[in-house]
Amino acid sequence: MAKYFDVHPDNPQQRTISNVAERIRSGGLVAYPTDSCFALGCQMGNRDGINQIRSIRNLDDRHHFTLMCQNFAQLGQFVHIDKDVFRAIKAATPGSYTFILPATKDVPRQLSHPKKKTVGVRIPDHVVTQALLAELGEPLLSSTLLLPDEDEPMTQGWEIKERLDHVVDAVVDSGDCGTEPTTVIDFSSGEAEIVRRGAGDTARFE
């Protein structure tokens, strides 16, 4: 049964954030809000958590997972990024964008694309997510909480608790959350390629 955490959207309670982080460190899979929509998240090395995300979402091995990063210093440990691409990404973050970039050796093999050796990264503009990332001190492996055969992600914490009670370990609820996934930009070739149009404005990359 999933533990339900009610978190203040503007001033997250430190004790609650610490409890969520401890669940993640202990191998838990959590559903949590972001600046685009709810996501599923676990530690990078949590193989069971990764498999559970794949099962919940019915994903194949070509799916790009996202490393939710607190800041650029953290992001830079896990992807190769040149100066021009850095400037383009810097101008759009934090925000509702996921960027696909070549993965470094610090990214576990099962997280990167099997052929392209790329991984998704992003820096969210969300108080609760940022508080959780700060407490963890490492990226949170994430995937949009979009169930198979559904057009839109779930937006209510109580609904997620009700429907995923036996497949996630915790649900973090901080009130209203968006319904639109991130805009995905592939920079793996050095040029911006819009893979998915979502919550982030694509004009700057066209």
Q: What is the pLDDT of residue 62?
A: 79
Query: Which residues of the chain fall short of a pLDDT of 50?
Result: none
The CA distance from 57 to 185, in Å, is 21
Domain boundaries, the chain: 3-198
E strand or H helix that includes residue 118: strand 118-122
User: What b/e readout covers 136-148, taking b as 16+ CB neighbours within 10 angstroms?
Assistant: bebbbbbbbbbee
Q: Would you state the CATH architecture of domain 3-198?
A: Alpha-Beta Complex (3.90)
- pLDDT given for residue 151 in this prediction: 84
**pLDDT tens track for 188-198:** 999 999 999 99
- State the Cα–Cα distance between residues 100 and 79, nearest whole angstrom: 9
